[in-house]
Amino acid sequence: MRDLFQILLGLVFLTGLQCQKLPKGVSKCHYGDGQCLKDTANALIQNYRKGIPEIYLKTFDVVNVRDWVLVNDSQVGVAWYYFELFNQTNYGFENTTITEIKGFDKDPTLSKIEISGTIPKLIYKGQYNAKGRMLWMVNIESSGNSVSDFLNFQFHLTLKVRTEYRNNKRYMKIYELVPSITLDRWIQWLDDFFPENFDLTLAVNNLFNRNWVEFWNELEPSILRLFTTVFMDMFDELFYNIPYDDLFLQDDE
């Protein structure tokens, strides 16, 4: 699920890069001009899904995701569960629409930075390892492929930042990033959840999909922590290399 935002946020901050030639049709924005930033982000999403290496814009039609332990209960008692995801990839970011951008003032520390957007369908593919004790004392130890569809995936990011100076340039650094996510439907399939019993594997997948809201509510904190880590990793590299003032038009431009 990682890459849902790593490119989208890069789109916003790379629009004013002065040291590189921007693509035709991509506008450079003044500080705090949310409408311009939104339009520029959407233009980049629509026209440059394979990214633009010259301005650090990575591909976002296929996004690799870091390995992640989604559930890690203490392995004691009558019921516990461990679930790990790896070799993960997300598809569908190229259909993202940025709906609102706030902040990015001349002094970015004076207000929160907020970015909102929506994706009609985000597709996740990867592999999983699972083990535990549940379902009337049934022991679980399985691995296989995992596929998820997230329908009408909507996100909102809130950032708090500080500035630092290097080489007489001002750089922005995030010290807090809080994502929130809503969606209309989560459809998931786990291969070989019970390797020796396809009927039981089918029953577990059907149970999940009938009760996906409850599962989402239970897993959301871990999922959001993964998103937060992804965003912070991406921003740290981006902002370390690109001065904040180089991202925007100056007052007299």
pLDDT tens by residue, the chain, 253 residues? 444 444 444 444 444 444 444 556 567 899 999 999 999 888 888 888 887 766 666 677 877 778 889 888 776 666 788 899 999 888 988 898 999 999 999 999 998 899 999 999 989 999 999 888 775 567 788 899 999 999 999 999 999 999 999 989 999 998 998 999 999 999 999 999 888 889 989 998 999 999 999 999 999 999 888 778 766 766 676 677 778 888 888 887 7
Domain covering 31-247: architecture: Super Roll (3.15)
> Amino acid letter at 230?
V
pLDDT score recorded for residue 180: 93
> What are the structural domain ranges in the chain?
31-247
Give the pLDDT score at 144.
93
Kindly state the tokens that stand for 139.
């022991």
Sign of CA dihedral 172, 241, 36, 154: negative
pLDDT score of 43: 87
Predicted TM-score (pTM) of this structure: 0.81
